[in-house]
Amino acid sequence: MNKKTEDILELIKSGEHIFLPNVSVDSVIFGYDNQELQVLLLEASNGNWMLPGGYVRKEEDLDAAALRNVVERIGVKDIFLKQFHTFGQRKRSFHKEIEQLFEDLGASIAQDLWIQKRFISVAYYTLVNKTITQPNPNFFAKSCRWHNARQLPKLLLDHENIVTTALDSFRADLASYPLAYHLLPQKFTMPELHAVFQSIYQKRLDRSRFQKKMFEYDVFERLESRVGVAHRRPYLYRHKQTI
Amino acid sequence: MNKKTEDILELIKSGEHIFLPNVSVDSVIFGYDNQELQVLLLEASNGNWMLPGGYVRKEEDLDAAALRNVVERIGVKDIFLKQFHTFGQRKRSFHKEIEQLFEDLGASIAQDLWIQKRFISVAYYTLVNKTITQPNPNFFAKSCRWHNARQLPKLLLDHENIVTTALDSFRADLASYPLAYHLLPQKFTMPELHAVFQSIYQKRLDRSRFQKKMFEYDVFERLESRVGVAHRRPYLYRHKQTI
DNA sequence: TTTACTTTGTGTCAAATTGTCACAATGATA
DNA sequence: TATCATTGTGACAATTTGACACAAAGTAAA
C-alpha cells in the first residue's frame, strides 16, 4: 500500500470526525483562455470527470469551506466566489464510485462509509485569472484540466446540470455588475473585456456601446496605454479598489 | 407531562434516525393583504419570532422537504416555491433555545442533542394566496401570524437576514417573470396585480405602462368582466395553464 | 333622468436607453 | 511614405420606458 493510498484511507477514516455529514460544497471554477470560457474539471480514476469539491469542517463557515477547497485546487487566494444553488436530490451520492475506488486500491470496504452517503451539495461559481493558477488534482482525481464550458465531457452525478446552472447564474449576475473582469489579469484593455463578454454571451456585442456601458458602471479606472503592441495602443484599466 | 410535551420529546428522540443531521430548510412565506406584502412567522415560546422551517427526511428530495414543511404550516398545496440561498455560518444553531425549551418543559436534557447542533439551512421563498391558507404553528411555536414584510419583530438567529435576502431575490425574479400573480386568487384584475407590484417595489408604477408590460409576457388570459362592483368593471385575468 | 364623480382601459407623445454605423487617431509593416 | 488593422468615440436611428390625457363605464346624488 503506497503513500497516496494510505492518505486516502486516512482521510476517509478521520473525515467522519472532522466534517459535517451529508453536506458538501462543489465549485464551478470559470477561467478564460483562447477566446473561450472554460471550466476546471477533475478526472476520476474511472475516467469520468467531475467538479472540484469538498466537505465542510464542523467549525468552519460554509463560504470558508468553499473558498478553502478552491484554493487547495488552484493555489490562488484572490478569487471571486459566489454561491448560486444547492443540489439535494435524494439519491445524490458517490456510493458506487467509492466502492469501485476501494476495489481498485485493493482495500476492503467497511459497510456504509460516511463518504458514500447521500450528500446535499451547496454549489458556488468562481471567476479566476487563469494565467496565475496552478491546478492540481485532489485525492480522488488522477488529473485535472480546463475544458470549454460548452463542450463538456461526460460528468458524474448531476455535475453537468450544476455547470449549466452556474453559467446561467453568472450570466444573470453579469447583467447588474461587470464581474467578468475577474477572469482577466489585474490590468486589462476594453477590447479584451469585450472579447470575454462575447464568449460568455456567445454573441457579437457592439464595441462602442460596450465601452460606454462599462464606463457607466464607474468601477474601472483608466491607466496608461499598453506599449509594445501593433496598431493603436489601447488603454489599460483596472477595477477600482474599494478602500 | 402532557400530550404535546410527549410529542415534542418523541420527535426529538426519533428525529435523529429520520432526518439528515445538520441540514434544515427554512421558508419565507409571502402573502398579500391589506395593500401590503406580508410574511408568515412563528412565535417561539420565549416570545421571539422565527421562520417556518423543518428538517429533511433521509430519503426525501430537498425541494420536497421544503414543500412538505410549508404545506404542514399553511394547509395549502398549490404554492409557488423557489430556493434562493443557503445559510451556513459556523455558529448557526438553536443550542440555547432548545436548552431553554427543555427547562420550561421540566425535562432533563441529554447532552448534545442532534437538534442543538449546527444547522446549514437551505432557504426557500414561497408565494401563496393568503385567503385560502390556514396557518397553524408547529411543535416548537406557540402561535403564528402574518407580519408586514417591512416591519418585522425581533427574529431568532439570522432569520431577519433570510427574509431580507428572500425579498431581494423575489424582486430580482420578478423582473423576468410576473410571479406576483401567485399572491392573488386564481382570477384577478390588472388593478389588483398593479397594487401588488407597487407594494413589492414600494413605489408608484404607471398604470398604463404596467398593463402593457403584463400583456407583453403573454401569460395571462382575459376572462369576463367582474360584476357587482362600482364604476367601470375591470376585466378578470388568470394565468394561462401550461397544458 | 340628469349630473357629478370614481375607476378602468388605452392612446399619444416625450424622454431615455440601446443598436448601428461611421470616421478619425494611432502605430506597425510594406 | 503609403497601407492597413486596431482602437476610441461621435452621430443618428430604433426601441423601450415614462408621463399624461381622455374616453368608456358604472354608481350615487341632485
Q: What is the pLDDT of residue B10?
A: 84
What topology does CATH give the domain B181-239?
Answer: Arc Repressor Mutant, subunit A (1.10.10)
Q: B233 falls in which pLDDT band (50, 70, 90)?
A: very high
Which range has the worst mean pLDDT, A104-108, A150-154, B153-157, B239-243?
Answer: A104-108
- Top-ranked range on mean pLDDT: pick from A12-16, A227-231, B129-133: B129-133
- Amino acid at site A97: E
What are the residue ranges of CATH 1.10.10.10 in chain A? 180-239
pLDDT at position B110 over 70: no
What are the residue ranges of CATH 3.90.79.10 in chain B? 3-174
Distance from CA of B56 to the nearest CA of A (A): 10
Q: Is A158 on the interface with B (CB under 8 A)?
A: no
Residues 33-92 of chain B whose Cβ lies under 8 A from any Cβ of chain A: 56, 58-65, 83, 85-90
Q: Is A218 on the interface with B (CB under 8 A)?
A: no
Residue B199 CA distance to nucleotide D12 C1' (Å): 40
The CATH code belonging to domain B3-174 is 3.90.79.10
B148 pairs with which residues across the strands? B38
Q: 3-state DSSP: chain B helix, strand, coil percent, rounded to 5? A: 35, 30, 35
Q: What is the pLDDT of residue B2?
A: 66
Contacts of B59 in chain A (CB under 8 A): 90
Cell (9 digits) for B185:
386568487
Q: What is the pLDDT of residue B140?
A: 80
Task: Calculate the dihedral angle through the C-alpha atoms of A166, A168, A170, A173, rounding to the nearest 10 degrees.
Answer: -140
Q: Is B161 on the interface with A (CB under 8 A)?
A: no
Percent of chain B predicted with pLDDT > 90: 79
Residue range A43-57: mean pLDDT, rounded: 93
Residue range A83-89: mean pLDDT, rounded: 98
For strand C, list residues 221-240 of chain B whose Cβ lies within 7 Å of it. Answer: 230-235
The CATH code belonging to domain A180-239 is 1.10.10.10
Cell 458538501, residue located:
A24
Residue B38, H or E segment: strand B36-44
Distance from CA of B224 to the nearest CA of A (A): 38
What is the per-residue burial (b if ≥16 Cβ within 10 Å, else e) of A56-85?
beeebbbbbbbbbbbeebbebeebebbbbb
Q: What is the pLDDT of residue A243?
A: 64
